[in-house]
Structure 1
Amino acid sequence: MSDQYMRNLTFENIAKACEGKYIGDESLLQTQITGAVIDSRLVKDGYLFIPVKGEKVDGHKFIPNVFEQGAAIVLSEHELENPAGPYVLVDSTTDAMKKLAAFYRKGLDIKVVGITGSVGKTSTKEMISSVLEQKYSVHKTAGNFNNEIGLPLTIFGIRDSHQVAVLEMGISDFGEMHRLSTMSCPNVMVITNIGYCHLEFLGDRDGVLKAKTECFEHMMPDAVAVLNGDDDKLATKQMVNGKPAVFYGKGESVEAGASDKTTSAGTDDNASAQIHKSVYTTNIENLGFDGMSAHFVTPVGEFDAHIHIPGEHNVYNAMAATAVGLQLGLTIDEIKAGIEAAQTIAGRTNFIKTNGMTVIDDCYNANPVSMKSSIEVLSHAKGRTIAVLGDMGELGADEKQLHHEVGEAVGTNHIDALFCAGELAQGYAKGASEKDAQVDVHYFAEREAMTEELLKYVKEGDTILVKASHFMEFPKVVAALNNEE
């Protein structure tokens, strides 16, 4: 079948999959669509348009326009008067979109790699994709299209020419992973870690584990779970759907403490005290801004690789990619080549040279683990180091303590200066000062005031880390440093 069309997505099958009512010319029922979008501006000839009700705009109002642009069919939550083309009447367009994505995925002859975890989903997705691209045609999640709207749109982008899809799945509450994995049905499911994210909804790390591992219930029958064996919560998941999990981490094995096997997060009764890792690393060397190097050990051979992205967490990303590559039949040489070809993406530890300074743009999002990783990367810079940090969101009852701990990491890594903004950022200031009185600490209630003073403070030769949760709008700080504002 040509890539021009979406496999099995005829008008008739769309109506059935969405559990909706087809209204239009019956002779068109076997017509296949060429694409599916929710943004009316992206509609092309032969597309399905899915109008979504947003906070400000209801996509239904664009239905007349999309037919003029060449849309073949649309979904609608209400009956249309004199439509210029056929439509499927549904109760909810967003629910219908998810059902349609699940139907489409099940009809595809493709391997799906699912990725979730509290930290590092996107960077792990990029590393895995870089490895798999050495052998396969890969379709991957673009940007942050990893939620209940973004994932179906990503799935709709798969075509017959693709051999593997690498799908990132992000959640913040119970039940979401059920819905995401129902759509993706992974053949390989990677979980990077269980951290302190979305605790206001999930309670504690046991809650995070329970929510993330909902994906196990919707994996393909032959699927394999690839898990970070150095994470105490994931180490309890030694059997997944009757098959041994594939663990990766530093060193060949790790002790799984007894307390970790008796948590309330649905752990396995047969968890042993010793976790054997199928893929592990030794001789890890931090090369500062030049990245990391490590020796990789696998069941089919060993190799050395230079990861060109700074930060020790990228060694874990590379181990996950190695484990996935082995599951999908790559050679050691292909895996090594993919690891060494991986690059950063905008907003994720992206290095910007500007005005004689280096800005580490890592302000896409933030949580305690990723904050500490980024601060560790900053500590390897030559010249003066400046951490520019904003509040982290959705941390629940321990939010003040967790901000304090990130501040302590600033002090422990002997960062020269800290500029921080936000209500909770006072914890950064206090933690940094307590750990290292030499840190030049500047606290501000508002981002704007902080940015104004930061621009007066920075000079040639500085390396500046910019990081905060998305709601703090710290990309504006990066733009100001780069003379874009």
Structure 2
Amino acid sequence: MEIKALHELFLKCHSVCTDTRKIQKNDMFFALKGDNFNGNTYAENALEKGAKYAIVDETEFNTSTKTILVNNVLETLQKLASFHRDYLKTPIIALTGSNGKTTTKELINVVLSQKYKTTATIGNLNNHIGVPLTLLSMTKNTEIGIVEMGANHQKEIEFLCNIAKPDYGYITNFGKAHLEGFGSVEGVIQGKSEMYDYLISNDKTIFVNANDSIQVEKTKNTKRFSFGNTNADINIDFKEAQPFVKCAFNNQEIESKLIGEYNFNNIMAAIAIGTYFKVNSTSIKDAIENYTPSNNRSQIIEKGTNKIILDAYNANPTSMRAALENFGKQAGDKIAILGDMFELGTEAKVEHQNIADLAISLDINEIIFVGENFYQSEIDSKKAKKYKSFSFFEKDFDFSKLKNKTLLIKGSRGMALERLLQVL
């Protein structure tokens, strides 16, 4: 079936779904495949649950007038999303980067939604499946689309840009993330900059953090809108981050609910993009001040007499360093519980040792390292202890002594350190 004809059927459906557990009446089900599952086997179940159509790519599952056989379900999903994007002609803002993508996306969304009907990436559905699903969730009512793009190897951002065809783009930063796939920080810069390559070649607009010399250099002589402390299209002043980030622009101060000076860049981007799209200053201020972080990202949680900074959604050397340096400046009796950082490849040993050394050097009363990588680090300090796994830590540590403490909990997604909330 041609994509145009499939799109006409799609427009008659409620939405797109790839998981039969979440099927709603009149959905279009795409039978995706993974390493451990074959969505084709669920096509009949999807129809029984109310799906209007099921897209399959294996002949034996093309069993009714409601199944549509294609060559490749994933490729069809991606082509349909790109066709839908062209059909709507909605302005698209794309963003990528090593750290802060999802928080920045959420901030941009709450700011722009003060004036426009927006559709943004849900959670971090930012890969070769998530980006198409985000595009297909947009409707004629969507006035601005906000698409987060993640990548762990070269050519991935280029691929996603060719699907989403963004009109505007922003790269949060270049950091030590996914080194296993990118090979080096230089590889990260090259991979993330594929967004710049797309925007420049298509004469689109780039939002640039003027405080980042690499970003400034890479976007010179381009169509760009800059933000920073000075000499930018919009100047935003940093005030403090003790514990929450405060800043000022257009003669008004914003007090956010985000901790850490590293979140200042994320807030600046939202202010700048809101300003570019003519959201008034008061609305920008209200949106940012009312935004509360969630999903284990920079969350402040009170548990009994303890204050917990939960930042356990993900971690890499750059974000871990920023979180620790901010934590070291906090007041009170502080304990850092740090989990392994994943996808670092051959750099894992060195990067974990560097973070261990940094943590010990800071004004932090006690440090707990959890995971096989940290366990292999050389740690010689009375205020630090290491555990090979979460289970060993859970069994050995005396949680009853945690009274009137401030805790930082940070680690990669696979460590699932948010489990500590149940223990506490």
TM-score w.r.t. length of structure 1: 0.81
Q: Deviations over 1:178-232 (max 9, x none)?
A: 2211222222211010011111221222211111121234449463111233334
Matches of residues 28-107 of structure 1 in structure 2 within 5 Å? 32-80=12-60, 83-107=63-87
Aligned residue for 2:224? 245
Q: Deviations over 1:86-129 (max 9, x none)?
A: 33322221111111111111111422211110000011111111
Do 2:177 and 2:318's aligned partners in 1 also have CA atoms closer than 8 Å? no
Mapped to 2, the partners of 1:356 and 1:346 lie a distance apart of 22
What is the CA-CA distance between 1:455 and the residue it aligns to? Answer: 4.1
Aligned residue for 2:247? 294
The residue type paired with residue 223 of structure 1 is K
Which protein is bigger by CA-based radius of gyration?
Answer: 1
Do 2:306 and 2:402's aligned partners in 1 also have CA atoms closer than 8 Å? yes
Count of residue pairs the alignment pairs up: 423
Q: 1:30 to 1:212 in 2, by over 3 A?
A: closer
Give the stretch that moved more between structures: 313-322 or 77-86.
77-86
> Equivalent residue of 1:45, what SS?
coil
The residue type paired with residue 43 of structure 1 is I
Aligned residue for 1:137? 117
Choose which of 306, 321, 335 in structure 1 pairs with 2:270: 321
Do 2:93 and 2:169's aligned partners in 1 also have CA atoms closer than 8 Å? yes
Aligned residue for 2:165? 185
Aligned residue for 1:21? none
Aligned residue for 1:337? 286
Q: 1:325 to 1:456 in 2, by over 3 A?
A: closer
Structure 2: stretches of 5+ with no match in the other structure: none
Q: 1:232 to 1:84 in 2, by over 3 A?
A: same
Choose which of 394, 397, 407 in structure 1 pairs with 2:356: 407
Q: Deviations over 1:329-387 (max 9, x none)?
A: 22222222222222211210112222322222211110112112222343354432111
> Equivalent residue of 2:271, what SS?
helix
Do 1:406 and 1:428's aligned partners in 2 also have CA atoms closer than 8 Å? no
Do 2:167 and 2:204's aligned partners in 1 also have CA atoms closer than 8 Å? yes
The residue type paired with residue 404 of structure 2 is G
Do 2:338 and 2:367's aligned partners in 1 also have CA atoms closer than 8 Å? yes
The residue type paired with residue 460 of structure 1 is K
> Equivalent residue of 2:34, what SS?
coil
Q: Identity over the aligned pairs, expressed in percent? A: 28
What is the CA-CA distance between 1:163 and the residue it aligns to? Answer: 1.6
Structure 1: stretches of 5+ with no match in the other structure: 1-10, 18-27, 253-275
- Note if 1:470 corresponds to 2:413: yes
Mapped to 2, the partners of 1:171 and 1:36 lie a distance apart of 23
Mapped to 2, the partners of 1:456 and 1:29 lie a distance apart of 57
Mapped to 2, the partners of 1:75 and 1:369 lie a distance apart of 41
Mapped to 2, the partners of 1:365 and 1:101 lie a distance apart of 28
What is the CA-CA distance between 1:14 and the residue it aligns to? Answer: 5.1
Give the stretch that moved more between structures: 393-402 or 43-52.
393-402
Mapped to 1, the partners of 2:414 and 2:339 lie a distance apart of 9
- Note if 1:125 corresponds to 2:78: no
Aligned residue for 2:322? 373
Choose which of 307, 315, 319 in structure 2 pairs with 1:358: 307
Mapped to 2, the partners of 1:394 and 1:405 lie a distance apart of 16
Mapped to 2, the partners of 1:429 and 1:94 lie a distance apart of 45
Do 1:238 and 1:245's aligned partners in 2 also have CA atoms closer than 8 Å? yes
What is the CA-CA distance between 1:314 and the residue it aligns to? Answer: 1.7
Mapped to 1, the partners of 2:103 and 2:61 lie a distance apart of 47
Q: Deviations over 1:221-252 (max 9, x none)?
A: 4631112333343232124xx63333333x31
What is the CA-CA distance between 1:16 and the residue it aligns to? Answer: 6.2
> Equivalent residue of 1:443, what SS?
strand
RMSD: 2.5
Do 1:72 and 1:85's aligned partners in 2 also have CA atoms closer than 8 Å? no
TM-score w.r.t. length of structure 2: 0.91
